[in-house]
A and B are shown apart, each in its own frame.
Chain A
Amino acid sequence: MLEDELTVSTRERDGVAIIDLFGDITTFAEEKINNAYREVTNQGARFVLLNFRQNDYINSAGIAILIGIVTEVSRNEQKLAVSGLSQHFQKIFRMVGLAQYAEIYQDEDEAISRFKRLT
């Protein structure tokens, strides 16, 4: 009831691998997020977008999971961006330093139009 509140799915749009995250990003999210990341990486993704949707709860365990993704993205020479975060979690991402490693966009459309121009 209170534990597993996350749905993860993957899709591709204009050469960007999108990982849609619906729900809570807590310790229970680790396997789902890591599996989705591995899936798009195994398919050859160079650009990975974590698209947050309806996420009103991201805690420090969730942040640790995302730092793990940053490590893998660097190792695999990919580019990482995030979209859909509330103002509060955009602030948290900047405080923690995640913004140094992943571009933050307001929404998916902005991410798709600007993300790949960075290369």
Chain B
Amino acid sequence: MPFDVKAMGDETAQREPVEKVIELRLPSRLGYERVAMDTASALARRMGFHTDRVESLKTAIGEAVTNAIEHGNQHDAATKVVVMLTARDAELIVQVADQGRKPLDQECTTRQPQIAERLERDDKGGWGIWLIRELMDEVEFSTAPSGGNQVRMVIHLER
């Protein structure tokens, strides 16, 4: 389902009990992804997620927000990254949206980097989206009507 920076809060609030939704509006500056990681971590612990799953969540949300800051918003201080955390009984949904200064190439959302190939080239990066896919139970990348990049991630609570 599409969501964007402006509409995401309203849409989600209509679907979910408002007390289960946390919304963060972060400056497009590296380092602020830590705020999203710490918030998600605190929420996931309270929900009963095991430590290893909390760590996976922190890595995934950190990568998603970093991508939004660096790529989607191009470090533009006038833009924000919106993070929405929705706590359900058996899962935690994380939505991250940027304002689309640069659209995400959809092809790069399914790429699987290989370390042997990375060792041979100057750019050693490109692991972030792959890590998100590996660590989360459900991942969906999309583009908002406004052009912003969005990622929706779900982690299931195993009891």
- On A, residues with C-beta under 8 Å from B are 1-3, 26-28, 57, 59-61, 63-65, 67-68, 70-71, 74, 86-88, 91-92, 95-98, 100-101
Contact of B30 among A27, A64, A101 (CB under 8 A): A27
The residue on B at minimum CB distance from A99 is: B115
Name B35-77 residues within 8 Å CB distance of A. 35, 37, 52, 55-56, 58-59, 62-63, 66
A59 touches B118 (CB 8 A): no
The interface of chain B, by Cβ under 8 A from chain A, is 29-32, 34-35, 37, 52, 55-56, 58-59, 62-63, 66, 114-116, 118-119, 123-128, 131, 134
A-B contact pairs, 7 of them (CB 8 A): A2-B29, A57-B37, A57-B62, A59-B62, A63-B125, A86-B55, A95-B131
When A and B form their complex, which 5 residue pairs have the shortest distance between CB atoms, in order from nearest? A2-B31, A97-B115, A88-B55, A64-B124, A64-B125
B62 and A71 contacting across the interface, CB-CB below 8 Å: no
Q: Are B55 and A59 in contact (CB under 8 A)?
A: no
Q: Are A74 and B119 in contact (CB under 8 A)?
A: yes
B152–chain A nearest beta-carbon distance, Å: 19
- Whether A3 lies near B31 (C-beta < 8 A) is yes
Complex contact B63–A60 (CB within 8 A): yes
User: CB < 8 Å: which of A57, A87, A91, A96 contacts B127?
Assistant: A96
Chain A nearest CB: distance from B114 CB in Å?
8
User: Cβ of B125 and Cβ of A61 under 8 Å apart?
Assistant: yes
Residues from chain A with a CB closer than 8 A to the CB of B119 are 67, 70-71, 74, 101
Neighbouring A residues of B118 by C-beta, 8 Å? 64, 67
Docked pose: A114 CA to B115 CA in angstroms: 25
Instruction: Point out the residues of chain B lying under 8 angstroms from A67, CB to CB.
Output: 115, 118-119, 124
